[in-house]
Amino acid sequence: MKLSIVATLYQSSPYVHEFHTRAGEAARAFAGDDYEIVLVNDGSPDNSLEIALELTRSDPHVVVIDLSRNFGHHKAMMAGLAHAQGERIFLIDSDLEEEPEWLADFAAIMSSESADVVYGVQQSRKGGLIERWSGEVYYRLFNYLANIDHPRNIVTARLMTRRYVDALLQFREREMVISCLWVITGFKQCSLRVKKHSSSATTYSLSRKIGHVTNSITSFSEVPLRLIFYIGLVIFTVALIYATYLIFHKLVLATPLDGWTSVMVSIWLLGGMIISFVGIIGIYLAKIFAETKQRPSTIIREIHGRTSSTR
């Protein structure tokens, strides 16, 4: 098969029909009749699944991967990639904020640059000043801590070769951050500046964004653990110097020191730091716990529109 278009469904019912029409047109322009559209239902609470199943009955190119519950966007994308059969795989969101028509431009760059991946980068980040500023801070901090060159303001849409996707699927993390896996998989990757539309309200709340940042850093960097050691070393050194200062005052100058306020501040400061450090260690231990259980990343209830799920 020449092309697979992979998209996830979550509260996508207003967009499924138009996405199918536009994705089909883009696919036929690229691959003729040799393509498939893989839709992964990530436990969508609306009728996205019913609409997608109707499409499988009217269009033999449509395949629906119905997950048993909501596993999250990143895991659903990996499930779709695992069942895509094409030599070229076009991953894209189904909410039409990203245009299926980008496929032609991505394919042209992939051919001219002999690249394994062509991915979209937003011309300007969506949101207000605070969101754009926080996004810039996040990318700078993350790239420093994780020591990888994560592209800024990337979108989901990307065209990938078969060998790249096969390499990507070798990662078996349970707590995955797929954008980072895209980077560390390697191969030649090229970017294309695109204009992402705003057609729906984001499902990423502030708490989910904070959780994503925490998961990203702790999944790809051991720097927080190293910082705990270095901060502890600094505190020990300062405490040793201060203890020497107190002994000098007591034995040489015989000057009593008032220290109630400083003692209380020190106790609260060190107590808070110790609790936060234990929390950081706890996050890493939780990740180890999740990985050792070897639970499946996703569970598929049923595959619709394909007689065989093997390549």
Cα 171 from Cα 117, distance rounded (Å)? 17
pLDDT for 22 beyond 90: yes
- DSSP letter at 249 equals I
Cβ atoms < 10 Å from Cβ of 298: 18
Q: Exposure pattern of 232-247 as b/e (b: 16+ CB <10 Å)?
A: eeeeeeeeeeeeeeee
Cβ atoms < 10 Å from Cβ of 27: 24
Question: Cα torsion for 118, 75, 42, 132, to the nearest 10°?
Answer: -60
Please, are residues 190 and 112 in contact by the beta-carbon 8 Å criterion? no
Please, are residues 161 and 116 in contact by the beta-carbon 8 Å criterion? yes
- DSSP letter at 305 equals S
More confident residue, 121 or 239: 121
Q: Give this prediction's pTM.
A: 0.74
> Considering only CA atoms, which of 51, 68, 62 is closest in space to residue 6?
62
pLDDT for 13 beyond 80: yes
pLDDT band at 254 (very low <50, low <70, confident <90, very high): low
* Domain 3-220+297-304 coded CATH 3.90.550.10: yes
Mean pLDDT across 106-120: 94
For 159-188, write each residue's pLDDT tens digit: 999 999 999 999 887 777 788 888 889 899
Name the residue ranges covered by the structural domains of the chain. Answer: 3-220+297-304, 223-293
Question: Using a CB cutoff of 8 Å and minimum separation of 24, what contacts does 288-295 make?
Answer: 290/174, 290/175, 291/173, 291/174, 291/175, 293/174, 294/174, 295/174
Q: Which of 94-103, 117-126, 195-204 has the highest mean pLDDT?
A: 94-103
* Residue whose structure tokens are 């969506």: 126
pLDDT band at 129 (very low <50, low <70, confident <90, very high): low
Share the mean pLDDT of the chain.
Answer: 82
Cα 5 from Cα 21, distance rounded (Å)? 12
For 195-212, write each residue's pLDDT tens digit: 887 755 555 555 666 666
pLDDT band at 273 (very low <50, low <70, confident <90, very high): confident
pLDDT for 11 beyond 50: yes
